[in-house]
C-alpha cells in the first residue's frame, strides 16, 4: 500500500524547475517532493503511455485527487499531450480534480440500495451538507460521492464514510452520521 500524501493548497505556492523522468527540466507549480512522487509512480510503470490509466489510479490513491499540475507532470513523463490526460481524467467518473473531503461520504446507489431508498438518503446528505454529488464542503471536511454496490446488499441502503460502513441507513439517520464526524 502506498503512502498517502495530501496536496495542500499551500503546495501550489511553489514554482520551481524540476526534472522529469526523461531528464528534461520543466517548470511545474508543485513542490519538489510531490514531483518526486509523480516521477516514482511514472517510473514504476516504465513511463509507458499505455499505462496512463494505471498511473492516474496510483496518483489519485496517493494525492486523493488529480489537480491540473499533476496531470501536466504525468503528461510530460509519459510523453503524451496533457489534453489527452485530461480527456481520460474527465471520461472516467472515478477520477476527480476536486480534492475529497477529510471524511469522504459514499452513498451506494446500486440496485439493491436504490430500491431500499438510497435516493432519499442521498438527498438528505445533499440537503444537510449543502453540496452536490462530486463536491466538497468549503471547510474541506466532507465530500459526497455515489458508488454502485459495495457487496453488502443485505445491509441496503449502505453508506460509507471513509472506510467505515453504515448499513440500513434511513434519511432520519443522516444527521447522526454527520454529527459523528463534526466535533
Partner 1 sequence: MIELTIDKKKVRVEKGTTILKAARQAGIEIPTLCHYELCDMGIENKPGGCRICVVEVEGRRNLAPSCITEAQDGMVIHTHSIRVLNARKTVLRLIISDHPFDCLVCAKSGHCDLQDLAVQFGIRSQPYVGEQSRYRKDTSPSIIRDVDKCIMCRRCEMICNEVQSVGALAAVNRGFMSVVAPAFEMNLEDSPCTYCGQCVSVCPTGALTEKDHTIEIIRALSNPSKTVVVQTAPAVRAALGEEFGMPAGTLVTGKMVSALRELGFDYVFDTDFSADLTIMEEGTELLQRVRGYLEGDSNVRLPILTSCCPGWVNFFEHNYPDLLDVPSTAKSPQQMFGAIAKSYFAEKIGVKRNDMIVVSVMPCLAKKYECQRDEFKVGGNPDVDYSISTRELASFIKQANIDFLELPDGEFDDPLGESTGAAVIFGNTGGVIEAACRTAYELYTGKKLEKVDFHELRGMDGIRSATIDFNGLELNIGIAHGLRNARKLLDEVREGKSKFHAIEVMACPGGCVGGAGQPFNHGDSGVLGKRAAALYAADQEMPIRKSHENPSIIKLYEEFLGEPGSELAHKLLHTEYFAKSNEVTIHLQG
- 9 part of the interface to partner 1, by CB under 8 A: yes
Nearer to partner 1, 80 or 152 (CB): 80
- Contacts of partner 1 in 16-75 (CB under 8 A): 26-29, 67-69, 71-72, 75
Cβ-Cβ contacts under 8 Å for 27 (sequence gap 6 or more): 15, 16, 17, 18
Residue 151 backbone phi and psi in degrees, to 5: 80, 25
Q: Please tell me the count of residues contacting partner 1 according to CB under 8 A.
A: 30
| 68-107 footprint of partner 1 as x/- string (CB under 8 A) | xx-xx--x----xxxxxxxx--xx-x---xxx--------
Residues that bind partner 1 (CB under 8 A): 7, 9, 12, 26-29, 67-69, 71-72, 75, 80-87, 90-91, 93, 97-99, 136, 138, 140
Amino acid at each position: 500500500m502506498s503512502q498517502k500524501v495530501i496536496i495542500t493548497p499551500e503546495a501550489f505556492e511553489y514554482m520551481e524547475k524540476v526534472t522529469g523522468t526523461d531528464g528534461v527540466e520543466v517548470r511545474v507549480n508543485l513542490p519538489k517532493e510531490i514531483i518526486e512522487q509523480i516521477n516514482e509512480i511514472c517510473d514504476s510503470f516504465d513511463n509507458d503511455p499505455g499505462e496512463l490509466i494505471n498511473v492516474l489510479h496510483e496518483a489519485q490513491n496517493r494525492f486523493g485527487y488529480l489537480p491540473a499540475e499533476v496531470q501536466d507532470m504525468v503528461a510530460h513523463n509519459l510523453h503524451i499531450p496533457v489534453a489527452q490526460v485530461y480527456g481520460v481524467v474527465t471520461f472516467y467518473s472515478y477520477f476527480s480534480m476536486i480534492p475529497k473531503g477529510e471524511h469522504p461520504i459514499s452513498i451506494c446507489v446500486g440496485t439493491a440500495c436504490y430500491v431500499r431508498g438510497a435516493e432519499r438518503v442521498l438527498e438528505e446528505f445533499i440537503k444537510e451538507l449543502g453540496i452536490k454529488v462530486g463536491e466538497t464542503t468549503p471547510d474541506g471536511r466532507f465530500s459526497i460521492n455515489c458508488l454502485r454496490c459495495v457487496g453488502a446488499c443485505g445491509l441496503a441502503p449502505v453508506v460509507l464514510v471513509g472506510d467505515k460502513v453504515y448499513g440500513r441507513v434511513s434519511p432520519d439517520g443522516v444527521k447522526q452520521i454527520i454529527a459523528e464526524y463534526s466535533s
